[in-house]
Amino acid sequence: MTNKQVEEKLTELDHQEPFIPFVVDLLDGQSLMLTHPPVFDDTGAGYFDPDGGLADFEFKAVRGIR
């Protein structure tokens, strides 16, 4: 996905009422479960991981969002 595609998809998912958790699949094979809305700009996003810690990812590393 391009940075713009990732940003557009995150914006769409972020505005769902109520928020519905989703998964971000990375190019390296990792799958990130986002259970709370992420904070993002045009290059990456920060989010709370399932353990409650802060984590982030770069848009250029995203394979897909489901």
Give tens-digit pLDDT for 4-58: 999 999 999 999 999 999 999 999 999 999 999 999 999 999 999 888 899 999 9
Q: Any idea where the domains of the chain sit in the sequence?
A: 3-65
Inform me whether the pLDDT recorded for 66 exceeds 90.
Answer: yes
Residue among 17, 60, 61, 59 at smallest CA distance from 37? 17
Asked, as a colleague might, if the bond just before 50 is cis with ω within 30 of 0, I would say no
Contact 39, 46 (CB under 8 A): yes
Measured in Å, how far apart are the chain's first and last C-alpha atoms?
Answer: 12
Beta-sheet pairing, 22-26 with 62-65: antiparallel
- Rounded to the nearest 10°, the torsion over CA 7, 33, 17, 62 is 10
pTM: 0.92
Give the fold, CATH level 3, of 3-65.
Answer: SH3 type barrels. (2.30.30)
pLDDT on residue 50: 85
